[in-house]
Structure 1
Amino acid sequence: MQNETVIVLDFGGQYNQLIARRVRECNVYCEVMSYKNSIEKIKEKNPVGIIFTGGPNSVYDEKSPHYDKTIFELGIPILGICYGSQLMAYTLGGHVDTAPVSEYGKTEITTSESKLFENVDKNTVVWMSHTDYIDKIPEGFKITAYSNDCPCAAYEDEEKKLYAVQYHPEVNHSVQGQQMLKNFLFNVCGCKGDWLMSDFAEKSIQALREKIGDGKVLCALSGGVDSSVAAVMLHKAVGKQLTCVFVDNGLLRKNEGDEVENLFRNQFDINLIRANAQDRFLGKLEGVKEPEKKRKIIGEEFIRVFEAEAKKIGKVDYLVQGTIYPDVIESGAGDAAVIK
């Protein structure tokens, strides 16, 4: 576990990964978690700060994502962004309603003194995207920024370390947005900013080595970024204890199957089994036009081919699949719509 962790709590926003990226660019370790995770799960991470993402819903709709009110009582700094800011207001006794004027696009806001706006111009351009607005902030808070059409573009309770912005500081269109995020991380959360991705990789490899020990590992390899990174990290951790099964489904680019085989077998010196299943996949896909149906057929056949090859190998102790955040979210960690 990292000493300094910031949690991005995802409420279905399209920029959740971008927020996490911006935090990591400040050399602060960050994880994205769905709002469906319990408050106990969040506390286990021992975060120094929490960021609520935006989202497409209205907080006053009962079906919209909400969260346990006690999260605001943990003493952990929280920054609410867009929907996250409305959720904070709604949960703590403020009021959110449909805005008389919706805002979308570059908008100039006027800021006032705040830890969040240190080294930020009094008048600065941010990216707005909302149809609801906060027309009453919770008791104990003060408004720290406004625009022509948004009387509450930012508000805070400095004593409780609760901050909220109606706009999206994480996107490039918010001219000084990254400075605002830095201010939250360093001025409010007290982050040191000494985390590096290279350190994370080394620690992950060491953790894999300790967990696997002398065990045998089987990795499903497609040739894509997800599984390729997982395979290389595992190889660095356990060497020849790893066997990769590369399923060539006939849908790769010209010569790509040979390039994958050469890279992993000859350059990385990884134990590699190549299953040439091009005819099998193309036969199953013949005549199918609907993209989602194609995706499911490919996924199903990949598993069947992989299973057949795995049986030839015999007993293994660990099965590995490389997966990136968007796949995790689409598979049920959040409420994201099908995106492929």
Structure 2
Amino acid sequence: MIEGILILDFGSQYTQLIARRVRELQVYCEIIPYNKPLEEITHFKVKGFVLSGGPLSVFDKEAPRVDVLALLKKAPVLGICYGMQLLAHALGGEVKPAKHREYGWSEVHWEEPLLEGLERQAVWMSHGDLVEKVPEGAQILAYSQGSGSEASCVAAFRGQGFLGVQFHPEVSHTQKGKEILKAFIDFCGVQTQWSPPQIIPHLIEEIQNQVGGEKVLCALSGGVDSTVAATLLTQALGYNQVRCVFVDNGLLRKNEFQDVLKMYQDLHLNIEGVDASSEFLSRLKGVMDPEKKRKII
């Protein structure tokens, strides 16, 4: 069975970036809503959990939560931003609202570097709470310069089977962020030979289970997302079960409609090209407002 990292999504705008960075390290991973039952994850072996950031505070009544202790019994846990605060809060540490929200660039000073030579690091912060006290037995690894009257804040800590970072290692603004993710992955002992094509058999099986013998109509835009979707559908269900449609709305580049249509034919898709350019352009005639144009299109 394939091994991987499971990312629990708490609503961060960067959650997809976490997955991208993990996959760039040749490790399989999936994103699930924070409240999805772990018992449903049966198709790969979870070797580590990542708790994403999120827009809420751990003090909010509607704040998303998970059973951190239950996770730690299964595999190591990395908490990022809100995920770090959730770790601290759940394991007996103290979290408090910051007097000044820390957003943007910050410098982190490592007292116990995760990586060799990582004494100082430029990172990207986005949080309104801070960890006042780490859980019992946990070790503070780094401090940030803080904001306003808060001269320094806990930026990273670790304990038995868990690591928390207040900053976002997944974004490009954070120096050596991917290396920090790799350090966690190495700690989890997860296999690092995964590549994107390995996900195809699983996706094909999912499509076959969901669609069964039904016919599928797939609209294509000429872009990567819809092309990949149509190709996977055709591989899973066969040529005759998937009908694809590509519409010329009159706003494509010269010869683009014909070129894209030929590309789809070369991919052996059951494709039909529809020239609706006259209808689109007549509806757009005289319209100057960009928002109105968007809605018409």
Give distance in 2, aligned partners of 1:11 and 1:284: 42
Instruction: Give, as a single letter, the amino acid of the residue that structure 1 aligns with 2:196.
Output: M
**Larger strand proportion, structure 1 or 2?**
2
**Could you tell me which residue of structure 1 aligns to residue 247 of structure 2?**
247
The Cα shift of 1:155 comes to 1.2
Mapped to 2, the partners of 1:44 and 1:270 lie a distance apart of 29
Q: TM-score, with normalisation over the residues of structure 1?
A: 0.72
Query: Residue 133 of structure 1 aligns with which residue?
Result: 130
Letter in 2 for 1:171: V
**What does residue 264 of structure 1 align with?**
264
* Mapping 1:10-25, distance limit 5 Å: 10-25=9-24
SS of equivalent residue, structure 2 residue 95: strand
Q: Residue 151 of structure 1 is aligned with which of 150, 153, 159?
A: 153
| CA-atom RMSD in angstroms | 3.2
* Conservation of the 8 A alpha-carbon contact between 2:12 and 2:54: yes
Query: Residues 285-336 of structure 1, C-alpha deviation per residue, up to 9 Å, x if partnerless?
Result: 7869584x876776xxxxxxxxxxxxxxxxxxxxxxxxxxxxxxxxxxxxxx
Which secondary structure does the structure 2 equivalent of 1:194 belong to?
coil
Mapped pair 1:38 → 2:40? no
1:51 deviation in Å? 0.9
Match of 1:106 in 2: 105
Q: CA deviation at 1:228?
A: 0.7
Instruction: State the match for 2:95 in structure 1.
Output: 96
Partners of 2:68 and 2:206 lie apart in 1 by 37
Check the 8 A contact 2:3/2:44 in 1, yes or no.
no
Q: Give 3-state SS (helix, strand or coil) of 1:47's partner.
A: strand
Match of 1:169 in 2: 169
> Following the alignment from structure 1 to structure 2, what is the Cα–Cα distance between the partners of residues 290 and 259?
28
How far apart, in 1, do the equivalents of 2:61 and 2:283 lie? Answer: 43
Secondary structure of the equivalent of 1:90? helix
| Aligned partner letter, 2:171 | V
2:3 is matched with 4
Does residue 119 (structure 1) correspond to residue 121 (structure 2)? The answer is: no
Distance in 2 (alpha carbons) for counterparts of 1:285 and 1:39:
50
Unaligned runs of 5+ in 2: 147-151
Q: TM-score, normalised by structure 2?
A: 0.81
Question: 1:127 touches 1:168 (CA, 8 Å); kept in 2?
Answer: yes
Percent of aligned positions that are identical: 44
Unaligned runs of 5+ in 1: 299-340
Aligned-pair CA distance for 1:182:
0.4
- Counterpart in the other structure of 1:227: 226
Aligned 8 A contact 2:204 2:235 in 1: no
CA-to-aligned-CA distance 1:139-159 (integer Å, 9 cap, x gap): 33221211233331111212x
State the aligned residue count.
289
Q: Is the helix fraction higher in 1 or 2?
A: 1
Q: Distance in 2 between matches of 1:252 and 1:36?
A: 43
Matched to 1:263, the amino acid is M
Cα 1:289–1:145 change in 2 (3 A) is same
| Distance in structure 2 (CA, Å) of the matches to 1:183 and 1:258 | 48
Indicate how the Cα distance of structure 1 residues 42 and 143 shifts in structure 2: closer, same or farther if over 3 A, else same.
Answer: farther
- SS of aligned partner of 2:36: coil
Q: In the TM superposition, what are the counterparts of 1:188-227 in structure 2 within 5 Å?
A: 189-201=188-200, 203-204=201-202, 207=205, 218-227=217-226
**Aligned-partner residue type, residue 140 of structure 1:** G
